[in-house]
Amino acid sequence: MSHTNGDIVLVTWLDAARQTDWTYSKPSTDIIPITSVGFLIVKNERVTVVQPHRHHPDAEGDIQHVGDMVIPSCAVISVESLVPTPIKTKRAKP
């Protein structure tokens, strides 16, 4: 499936486990599946970049963002588009 820059996506990818303390035990061989959600910014043979937080463009067209995740494409298992579903709310009676 083709994705467009700015689509909201769910990315499933593999990450490394880590050892936090000195130990005598054997090293872990765990690989951790991660699920990340955000705006797709780049998807190519090298990387998939997702931004979880974006703000509307300013007068110059620049978009403020934070928390960019640069995921090596070789670690990506899948990228799924998420289509926003309108939420029906009940209005309070005046």
Question: Residue 64's pLDDT is what?
Answer: 81
| Arithmetic mean of pLDDT, 1-9 | 71
Query: Does 6 reside within a domain?
Result: yes
Query: Does 74 reside within a domain?
Result: yes
Query: Does 90 reside within a domain?
Result: no
Give the CATH number for residue 64. Answer: 2.30.30
Question: Residue 77's pLDDT is what?
Answer: 96
Query: Does 57 reside within a domain?
Result: yes
Question: Residue 72's pLDDT is what?
Answer: 96
Residue 2 has pLDDT above 60, yes or no: no
Residue 60 has pLDDT above 60, yes or no: yes
Provide the whole-model pTM. Answer: 0.72
More confident residue, 64 or 9: 9
Please state, in angstroms and as integers, the Cα–Cα distance from residue 51 to each residue in 4, 12, 79, 85, 91, following that order: 14, 15, 14, 20, 33
Looking at this protein, which amino acid is placed at residue 62?
D
Residue 73 has pLDDT above 70, yes or no: yes
Q: What angle do CA 84, 70, 12 make, to 5 degrees?
A: 55
Q: Which residue(s) pair with 39 in the sheet?
A: 8, 51
Q: Kindly report the average pLDDT of the chain as a whole number.
A: 84
79 close to 48: Cβ distance less than 8 angstroms: yes
**Overall residue count recorded for the chain in this entry:** 94
Model confidence over 27-54: pLDDT tens digits? 778 888 999 999 999 999 999 999 998 8
Using DSSP, state whether 13 is helix, strand or coil.
strand
Number of helices and strands in the chain (H, E):
0, 7
What domain count does the chain have? 1
Domain of residue 53: give its range: 1-14+31-83
Query: Does 22 reside within a domain?
Result: no
